[in-house]
Amino acid sequence: RLILGIDTSCDDTGVGVVELAPDGSLTVRSNRVWSQTVHARYGGVMPELASREHVERIADITTDALEQAGVSLADIGAVAATSGPGLVGALLVGLMYGKGLAQALDVPFYAAHHLEGHIHAAAAEGDLHAPYLALVVSGGHTHLFDVPSEGQYVLVGATKDDAAGEAFDKIARLAGLGYPGGPAISDAATRGNPDAVPFKEPLQGQKGFDFSFSGLKTAALLAHRAGAKPEDLAASFQRMAVQFLVKTTVRAADATGRDTVVVSGGVAANRALREAFARTGLNVVFPGAGLNTDNGAMIALAGAAALREGRRASPLDGGASAYAPLANA
């Protein structure tokens, strides 16, 4: 069965096609993303421009995704689209387009939570079955969930201030390393000394599993003013950010008894983070290439999981929501 997934939560128009095999395994058949460039000159995403650009691109990207998958619209057996959180105007474009497609094809429609998509981005990498822990490290979230059973999310910890990706972006900008900051820091770090700038691990001694990046950001600013080399700043910050994320997640795994951890979202593309998680001895699952940052295939994967569990389709009159917590907690 083929599931078409759509994500238009921010400034990427993403459409992907996923195949759900009779044995329950999932394969990404295509994944097309149009990353909007109109925002560059404003230094941030302009919501209304994002919506308009989604309207202009969505049909073409959908055609591309079908073509790349080698299927036609008539082969699609279910449609999933992000309903939140995100920019409401942007979300509405993909959501309405997805509902329209589902209605025209007379197939079930699934409204997906954006973070459920990020988590399920890893579902095509072998068998991902609950229970597991899920760490979402993206541009807007640093959230750790316990997933005791499919479709159930319990928030175990979250950032108290900046998201991990946001910290990478801001420190990269500060050090003049360019945008997006994650890849820029990761690249510069290979040429820097991780011992050059002393960063203190945030929230030392906490009993919980929360995150915080504002202290690292301030420390980076002070080191930059004191003349730290951008490469050294990148290497030192990245090492501490990775150490903090991994240590906190491992403590949560010990506390909950979970031995499988999904790490997803844009920052999950970070090589140092992947290597550090690989050394934990936990069964760590990462999204495949092109599935870390926003895309449509991850939403198709979330829809496919819902379909596989026999979850009821979403009503066609549901709306988009800017702030929608994933956890029922």
β-pairing, 132-137 vs 142-147, is: antiparallel
Could you tell me which residues come within 8 angstroms of residue 37 by beta carbon, excluding any fewer than 6 positions away? none
Rounded Cα distance between 145 and 165, Å, is: 18
* Residue 134-153 contact track with Fe ion, rule CB under 5 A, x = bound: ----x---------------
212 Rama class: left (phi>0) / alpha (psi -120 to 50) / beta: beta
Nearer to ligand ATP, 141 or 229 (CB): 141
Rounded Cα distance between 302 and 151, Å, is: 9
Name the one range near Fe ion by CB under 5 A: 55-63, 164-172, 178-186, 287-295: 287-295
Q: Encoding tokens for residue 264?
A: 């997803």
Residues 153-212 that bind ligand ATP (CB under 6 A): 165-166, 168-169, 180-183, 186
Question: Which partner in ligand ATP, Fe ion, none is near 169 (CB below 5 to 8 A by kind)?
Answer: ligand ATP
Question: Which partner in ligand ATP, Fe ion, none is near 232 (CB below 5 to 8 A by kind)?
Answer: none
Rule CB under 6 A: is residue 293 a binding residue for ligand ATP? yes
β-pairing, 12-20 vs 2-7, is: antiparallel
Rule CB under 6 A: is residue 13 a binding residue for ligand ATP? no
Rule CB under 6 A: is residue 265 a binding residue for ligand ATP? yes
Question: First-to-last CA distance in the chain?
Answer: 33
Rule CB under 6 A: is residue 266 a binding residue for ligand ATP? yes
Site residues for ligand ATP per CB under 6 A: 10, 114, 118, 138-141, 165-166, 168-169, 180-183, 186, 265-267, 269-270, 293-294
